[in-house]
Structure 1
Amino acid sequence: MSPVTYSRILLVILALWVVVGSADPAQDRSETREYFKQLFPQLTLQEYADGAYALDPIARSQWLEIEDFPPYEWAVENGKHLFHTPFKGGGRYTDCFPQPINKIRAQYPRVSVEGEVITLELALNQCRQKFQQPMLDYRRGEMAALSAYLAYLSRGEMLEMKTPSSEGEMKSYTAGKQFYYQRRGQLNFSCASCHVQSAGKRLRADMLSPMLGQVTHFPVYSGVWHEMGTLHRRFIGCLEQIRAPVFHAQSEQLRALEYYLSFMSSGIKLNGPAYRK
């Protein structure tokens, strides 16, 4: 069976998963990785962390030049200052994160005993609430800087997500998967329309990145935004591009989406923050 034929068969399988609403996370991940292995046999699993730059040699060369003097360096330094500066009235971020600082990013997202998806950014704002500090914007600014600092310290750490098994984990996983494959908006696109079925193809001048590894390099400095942005800011941007109803950053829906994508990318090393065009 040729790789092209096999890929087409797997695409049908992926579509059937959504229709029947099956939820076997380990099988989902295994079959999805096999699909991408057939689609891009030249890539190792770890190379998916580089997104479209793993597939486009010219864009990769330009990206590596930018990474020599990355525009997110200031955000990492600002995040370091913010993370270690005590809050007014007492307390600091380190009081909320007992893990070694270079292990913090890899602990998220996770599902609490109450069944809620806890992302890194949500945990940072929960820490602020604990010490009566105002909430930060989940999309940019200080939150993106804090996330950039913790991501930078965790570079090379493996994103290791245990297989969903509890009721809360399965509920969040299923919700995230359904969100990813559901068509929506005036363009009738799903996340998978671009990043599974059309991965590696071009949309105008840009190559569409594969699903695998999409969460490992956030937050990013975007050449479009001209500033740092979090993963949920990117989610919102995608919804706007397909003219679909937008969910707010750290909504239950987008946290479930992050949880699903993180499980699918489990086993890939973290490499954030990063530059993206």
Structure 2
Amino acid sequence: MRIITGLVTAGMLSLGLPLQAADSGFNLETVNPEADRLALQAFYQKRYPGVAIDDYVNGIYALDAESREQWEEIEEFPPYEFSIEEGEELFNTPFANGKSYADCFENGGVGIRQNFPYWDKEDGTVKTLEFAINECREDNGEKPLKWGKGDIARISAYMAWTSRDNVFDIQIPEDDSRALQAYLDGKKFFYTKRGQLNLSCANCHLQGSNIRIRADLPGPMLGQVTHWPVFRSKWGNLGTLHRRYAGCHRDSRSKPLKPQAEGFRNLEYFQTYMSNGLVVNGPGARK
């Protein structure tokens, strides 16, 4: 663990990123999202010079050849295939009032995954795709779906499938400082240590990526959010990104936030912005 922590510290210094949430770099006057994104890409290009930036949408499979071979075999018969079909049926099933999910989203909800999460200026908050799905339900008199897995993951998987190969271009509105603050809060969350093991997200997914922790190889931060929702072999079913966030907290012996809590939504906002320029390739399959 000391080796991993040391590498992470070196990595953050090379990126010019603050080490602690309390550092002066974590404020609205100095934060520069685009500089953060370009620095992250440069960091990985230097560390893995043979890996194309576009391949980071495949997570650890962009870095580890043995893992990639196993994953490609799984992808021949994707375990999420039936979930996409079920999600499509759910998406097209009318609500009791006769309307459907298509009425809530631009372009009828097709091919729009790359636009999430986004800053909602009117409500003053970050809205993820799953958040918007349940908001749509409630606006039409339906009960919200349970977060994390089940129908909400299936609907999200279908919407991601219709958006494959679309490029992420998450915006941080310049005319609303609250949006930049949400990005900054997500950045703080990523680099702040927590839990009994005193780990941050960065400990495993920045310099700790592709360094074995027991039997696992943590994936890189770049592209980490592009392939969700995911069918994990460990779960035996499909799950959302926030389900994984909660699992990471438990793995580090930290009390997780509830799925779709503001802190998790801001974290997703930060991470997705950092993957701008990459494409949607969800739903995905992971160990």
Letter in 2 for 1:139: G
Distance 1:130 1:8, change over 3 A: closer
Partner SS, residue 15 of structure 1: coil
Distance in 1 between residues matched to 2:78 and 2:273, nearest whole Å: 28
Question: For 1:15, which of 15, 18, 34 is the aligned residue?
Answer: 18
Partner SS, residue 189 of structure 1: coil
Q: Which runs of 5+ in 1 are unaligned?
A: 1-6
Matches within 5 A, 1:115-194: 115-165=124-174, 166-194=176-204
Instruction: Identify the residue that residue 87 of structure 2 maps to in structure 1.
Output: 79
Distance in 2 between residues matched to 1:273 and 1:211, nearest whole Å: 18
Question: For 1:225, which of 213, 230, 235 is the aligned residue?
Answer: 235
Is residue 46 from structure 1 mapped to residue 54 from structure 2 by the alignment? yes
Q: Deviations over 1:119-154 (max 9, x none)?
A: 100110011001110110120000000010011111
Distance in 1 between residues matched to 2:19 and 2:60, nearest whole Å: 27
1:90, 1:131 within 8 Å by CA — same for their partners in 2? Answer: no
My pick for the range that moved more, 125-134 or 89-98, is: 89-98
Q: Deviations over 1:158-203 (max 9, x none)?
A: 0111245321211110100000000000000000000012112111
My pick for the range that moved more, 113-122 or 97-106, is: 97-106
Determine which structure has the larger helix proportion and give its number.
Answer: 1
Is residue 103 from structure 1 mapped to residue 111 from structure 2 by the alignment? yes
Letter in 2 for 1:207: L
Partner SS, residue 162 of structure 1: coil
Distance in 1 between residues matched to 2:35 and 2:65, nearest whole Å: 32
Distance in 2 between residues matched to 1:83 and 1:76, nearest whole Å: 10
- Per the TM alignment, residue 48 of structure 1 is displaced from its structure 2 partner at its CA by 0.4
Percent of aligned pairs sharing the same letter: 41
Question: TM-score normalized by structure 1?
Answer: 0.94
Distance 1:206 1:161, change over 3 A: same
Matches within 5 A, 1:254-273: 254-273=264-283
My pick for the range that moved more, 27-36 or 211-220, is: 27-36
My pick for the range that moved more, 203-212 or 10-19, is: 10-19
2:225, 2:268 within 8 Å by CA — same for their partners in 1? Answer: yes
1:164, 1:173 within 8 Å by CA — same for their partners in 2? Answer: no
Instruction: Identify the residue that residue 88 of structure 1 maps to in structure 2.
Output: 96
Instruction: Identify the residue that residue 4 of structure 1 maps to in structure 2.
Output: none
Aligned residue pair count: 271
1:148, 1:219 within 8 Å by CA — same for their partners in 2? Answer: yes
Partner SS, residue 247 of structure 1: coil
Distance in 1 between residues matched to 2:192 and 2:230, nearest whole Å: 26
Letter in 2 for 1:40: Y
The root-mean-square deviation of aligned C-alpha atoms, in Å, is 1.6
- Per the TM alignment, residue 206 of structure 1 is displaced from its structure 2 partner at its CA by 1.6
Q: Which runs of 5+ in 2 are unaligned?
A: 1-7
Question: For 2:209, which of 188, 199, 208 is the aligned residue?
Answer: 199
2:119, 2:172 within 8 Å by CA — same for their partners in 1? Answer: no
Distance 1:217 1:39, change over 3 A: same
